[in-house]
């Protein structure tokens, strides 16, 4: 061990041992970080998402269910100014759309990167295209300290120093002490770990399974080739033709396509000219379906959602569909919880600190929270509203507003002529005496 921050230690002798034996272990601070080259690349993951319809379908489904319904915010009592400030920020940066784009990056690669244009006064937030990130360095807490961007066309950008503070790195499912998150497509594009096999000379070699993405693409291409190769087709056996006649006929065959019909004309009797067609076909006993289904199922397991199978397979009962939905929601709920907590701590609190000049403690006390989905409003029927007006809980004007939000068409301006159920005007509380105009 050359690592200066790792050290060997010797434990106590084993109790069950008759001889003096010592256990040996390693204690480490678990942090010796150099710039991490990202393998497999995010660019490959994005390309696979774009090229594989089942993968794209699954990722889009997870993104839509996770953030597609939008969000609303709340705050602690007395901090309405904080809520207005955060809502204005969300509107200005179009955080709703930004959530969708970033969630897609996180589901695919396990990482998302947002750029804060002005960290000292957080007024803008932009998404960094994740496919361009090729190297990343972070401290032990996962905060980015340096990164490399490389775009198609060999444009490379190194970002270090103070500029790094402008980035907010979102990561999910980091493994061990890794600084990178691991997304759903990580096992899809990564080759096997390797297995040993004995060579002919009795030495040992190591073989590696190709990535699941390569296997599935190869199988699909073979299936396409097989459909073309083994569609009704004939091999022609020619006999008793002269060399010139056979050459002429062969050239005619080459000029056609595999979908063309073949007509052969020749002089003489069948005894003089022999022409035997042989149909080409696969052995119907060759059942490759289980092999193909195995790799397709592994692809679906990679995305951790059964939604694609619900679309592509028949035979799902209502019960199995509900079970599949419940499985997906467990994944979605974990993502939503992690994502919203990150936005609250890394975006909402800095916005309050910079735009309202608050301390972090005060910004935290405001408890501005992100909630997925629209605000749910209670609905009341007309009789319930009438009873609340009678009890003095609502004014007639407030009751009118609730009725209008329920879809009832009201004439604009008529609220000035409101009469309560007790005949009092101005839509006031029936327990309050009406004011007398001079």
What's CA 407's distance to the chain center, in Å? 37
Q: Of 348, 374, 400, which closes a domain?
A: 374
User: Quick one: pLDDT band at residue 98, thresholds 50, 70, 90?
Assistant: very high
Q: Of 261, 281, 301, which closes a domain?
A: 281
Write the CA distances from 376 to 20, 82, 100, 184, integer angstroms: 70, 21, 22, 32
Q: Is residue 4 domain-resident? A: no
Q: Both 342 and 408 in a single domain?
A: no
Q: Both 364 and 257 in a single domain?
A: no
Tens of pLDDT, residues 320-333: 667 777 778 888 99
Q: Is residue 329 domain-resident? A: yes
Q: Is residue 189 domain-resident? A: yes
What are the structure tokens assigned to 65, written together? 């269910």
Average pLDDT, integer, range 2-7: 36
Q: Is residue 1 domain-resident? A: no
Contacts of 140-146 with CB under 8 Å at 24 or more apart are 140/29, 140/30, 140/31, 140/33, 140/177, 142/169, 142/171, 142/174, 142/179, 143/169, 144/113, 144/169, 146/35
Q: Both 218 and 120 in a single domain?
A: yes
Tell me how far apart the alpha carbons of residues 106 and 100 are, in angstroms, rounded to a whole number: 10
Tens of pLDDT, residues 224-250: 777 666 666 666 666 667 778 778 877
pTM exceeds 0.75, yes or no? no
Q: Is residue 148 domain-resident? A: yes
Q: Both 341 and 422 in a single domain?
A: no
Tell me how far apart the alpha carbons of residues 123 and 368 are, in angstroms, rounded to a whole number: 17
Q: Both 318 and 397 in a single domain?
A: no
Q: Both 226 and 236 in a single domain?
A: no
Q: What is the pLDDT of residue 401?
A: 80
Q: What is the pLDDT of residue 284?
A: 54
Q: Both 175 and 146 in a single domain?
A: yes
Q: Both 221 and 239 in a single domain?
A: no
Q: Both 48 and 161 in a single domain?
A: yes
Structural domain including 423 reads 377-438
Q: Is residue 21 domain-resident? A: no
User: Is it the case that residue 105 has pLDDT exceeding 90?
Assistant: yes
Tens of pLDDT, residues 66-79: 999 999 999 999 99
Q: Is residue 334 domain-resident? A: yes
Q: Is residue 15 domain-resident? A: no
Tens of pLDDT, residues 28-43: 444 444 455 677 888 8
Q: Both 126 and 152 in a single domain?
A: yes
Phi and psi at 290, nearest 5°, equal -60, -35
Q: What is the pLDDT of residue 15?
A: 42
Q: Both 58 and 172 in a single domain?
A: yes
* Cα separation of the two ends of the chain: 95
Q: What is the pLDDT of residue 8?
A: 32
Q: Of 324, 341, 374, which closes a domain?
A: 374
Q: What is the pLDDT of residue 277?
A: 64
Q: Both 272 and 308 in a single domain?
A: no
- Number of domains composing the chain: 3
Cβ atoms within 10 Å of 389's Cβ, excluding its own: 22
């Amino acid at each position: 061990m050359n690592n200066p921050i790792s050290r060997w230690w010797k434990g106590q002798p084993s109790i069950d041992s008759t001889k003096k034996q010592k256990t040996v272990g390693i204690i480490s601070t678990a942090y010796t970080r150099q710039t991490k080259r990202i393998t497999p690349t995010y660019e490959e993951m994005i390309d696979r998402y774009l090229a594989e319809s089942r993968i794209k379908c699954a990722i889009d489904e997870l993104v839509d269910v996770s953030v597609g319904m939008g969000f609303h915010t709340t705050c602690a009592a007395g901090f309405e100014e904080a809520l207005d400030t955060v809502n204005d920020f969300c509107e200005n940066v179009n955080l709703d759309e930004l959530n969708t784009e970033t969630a897609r990056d996180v589901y695919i690669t396990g990482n998302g990167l947002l750029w804060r244009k002005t960290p000292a006064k957080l007024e803008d937030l932009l998404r960094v295209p994740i496919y361009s990130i090729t190297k990343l360095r972070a401290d032990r807490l996962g905060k980015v300290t340096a990164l490399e961007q490389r775009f198609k066309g060999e444009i490379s950008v190194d970002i270090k120093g103070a500029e790094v503070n402008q980035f907010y790195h979102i990561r999910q499912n980091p493994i061990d002490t890794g600084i990178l998150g691991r997304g759903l497509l990580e096992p899809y594009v990564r080759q096997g770990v390797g297995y040993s096999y004995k060579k002919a000379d009795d030495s040992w070699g190591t073989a590696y399974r190709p990535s699941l993405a390569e296997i599935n693409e190869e199988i699909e291409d073979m299936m396409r080739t097989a459909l073309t190769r083994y569609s009704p087709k004939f091999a022609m056996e020619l006999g008793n033709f002269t060399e010139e006649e056979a050459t002429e006929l062969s050239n005619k065959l080459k000029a056609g396509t595999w979908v063309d019909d073949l007509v052969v004309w020749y002089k003489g009797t069948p005894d003089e000219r022999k022409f035997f067609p042989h149909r080409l076909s696969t052995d119907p006993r060759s059942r490759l379906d289980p092999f193909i289904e195995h790799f397709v199922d592994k692809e679906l397991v990679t995305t951790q959602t059964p939604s694609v199978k619900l679309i592509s397979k028949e035979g799902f009962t209502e019960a199995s569909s509900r079970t599949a939905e419940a499985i997906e929601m467990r994944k979605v709920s974990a993502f939503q919880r992690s994502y919203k907590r990150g936005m609250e701590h890394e975006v909402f609190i800095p916005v309050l600190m910079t735009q309202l000049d608050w301390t972090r403690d005060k910004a935290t006390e405001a408890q501005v929270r992100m909630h997925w989905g629209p605000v749910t409003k209670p609905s009341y029927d007309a009789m319930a509203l009438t009873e609340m007006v009678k009890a003095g809980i609502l004014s007639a004007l407030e009751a009118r507003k609730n009725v209008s939000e329920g879809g009832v068409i009201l004439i604009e301006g008529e609220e000035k002529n409101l009469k309560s159920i007790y005949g009092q005007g101005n839509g006031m509380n029936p327990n309050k005496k009406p004011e007398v105009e001079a």
